[in-house]
Amino acid sequence: MTDAYQPRIQERSLDRDCTTLSRHVLQQLQSFSSEAQDLSALMNRIALAGKLISRRLSQAGIMAGVLGFAGTENVQGESVKKMDVYANDVFISVFQQSGLVCRLASEEMEKPYYIPENCPIGRYTLVYDPIDGSSNIDANLNVGSIFAIRRQEGSDEDGSASDLLQSGRKQIGAGYILYGPSTILVYSIGTGVHAFTLDPSLGEFILWQENIRVPDRGSVYSVNEGNFWQWDESIRDYIRYVHRHEGYTGRYSGALVGDFHRVLLQGGVFLYPGTLKKPEGKLRLLYECAPLAYLMEQAGGRASNGTQNILDVVSGHLHQRTPFITGSPEDVALVESFIQERDRIKEDEQLLTRS
Ligand code: AHM
Ligand code: MG
């Protein structure tokens, strides 16, 4: 290596090291307007939450009160883990006295949480799943946090948060934090999808990949096949198809964020369809599926409930569930084609019985 090369390499790596999340948000918006400053500050607070959660997860085996159940159930009747409670509180704490967010709505809270001192100026709402895939924690496997930012519309004086019951097109930003071998934050504010890696020595998220594009198709199909017996025939048709064709590989970690991240980078499809026990599936629209659908669309992919784009689905209530199919455009279309085919057969059968 010649001496002439040295400074240029240093400059490049310095430039990369200095591309922190807050700087990146401002660059994306190409503005120092108050909204741009707000979004940059918001992302900074979300990153702080990610760092706090990441730190606690990394000490799970040695610190008391991290692993195991909290001994309570959430509004959806699911057992709450200690980390669910901690992470939910972290997101609230980082927004106290921030002047940024008036309301937070999460999987762990029946109703939105208000921070009244922020409300006169903080016209945003954060919707989030503090720990997604929390059943993975006790096995020291990957988990994630999912979030989206929405503008608060109307005064919401009655606290009903009915303005949150609008489609995913109302999101002005979304992302997730993946706590894996390294901690990665992926976000979009409508200008592509960008990923940052937490550098523990700096305590900063440093730019890793910009403008991520999902491949048009991929080999991965990611689904809990243990539910085969309780799926609709159309989903079984699709799974039979991938079993009988070369070029597919099954990958399922039990944590949506990890499975989604793999599909985002490598292509393929993630699906959690409706089941006999849960006809709407397991995943929640507002703070799991809509944020990830926003990212997937920004990356050139698709997200569907089988018949409709997830971003067009309007929530009936805060914790509404939805079937979820997302990933490479060609792979999502393939799953949908099996659903359409079965719908056609059902229609024909109905016509026959009527005639
Ligand atoms: P959670 O938010 O309560 O952890 O539930 C969501 C998780 C997803 O991360 C994952 O895709 C799914 O539930 C796994 O469910 P299952 O065990 O039914 O496959
Ligand atoms: Mg979840």
Q: pLDDT tens for residues 213-238?
A: 999 999 999 999 999 999 999 999 99
Least confident of 62-66, 84-88, 100-104, 162-166: 62-66
CATH among 3.40.50.1970, 1.10.760.10, 3.30.420.250, 3.40.190.80 for 220-354: 3.40.190.80
Residue nearest to atom 6 of ligand 1 (CA): 133
Mean pLDDT, rounded, for 330-345: 95
Question: How many A from CA of 34 to the centre of ligand 2?
Answer: 32
Ion ligand 2: residues, CB within 5 A, are 129, 132
Pocket of ligand 1 (CB under 6 A): 78, 107, 129, 132-134, 224, 254-256, 272, 282
Mean of the per-residue pLDDT values of the chain? 90
Question: Cβ(273)–Cβ(309) under 8 Å?
Answer: no
How far, rounded to the nearest angstrom, does the alpha carbon of residue 7 sit from its chain's CA centroid?
Answer: 39
Question: How many A from CA of 283 to the centre of ligand 1?
Answer: 7
Question: Cβ(149)–Cβ(126) under 8 Å?
Answer: yes
Intervals of CATH 3.30.540.10 along the chain:
6-209
CA-nearest of 333, 320, 330, 335 to 168 is 320
Question: How many A from CA of 15 to the centre of ligand 2?
Answer: 35
pLDDT of residue 263 exceeding 70: yes
Question: How many A from CA of 131 to the centre of ligand 2?
Answer: 6
The whole-angstrom separation of Cα 321 and Cα 279 is: 9
Intervals of CATH 3.40.190.80 along the chain:
220-354
Counting from 1 in the atom list of ligand 1, the atom nearest the Cα of 133 is: 4
CA-nearest of 171, 307, 303 to 232 is 307
Quote the CATH superfamily of domain 6-209. Fructose-1,6-Bisphosphatase, subunit A, domain 1 (3.30.540.10)
Packing angle between helix 290-298 and helix 256-266, nearest 10 degrees? 10
Contact residues for 311 (Cβ-Cβ < 8 A; gap 6+) = 167, 168, 169, 290, 293, 294, 297, 303
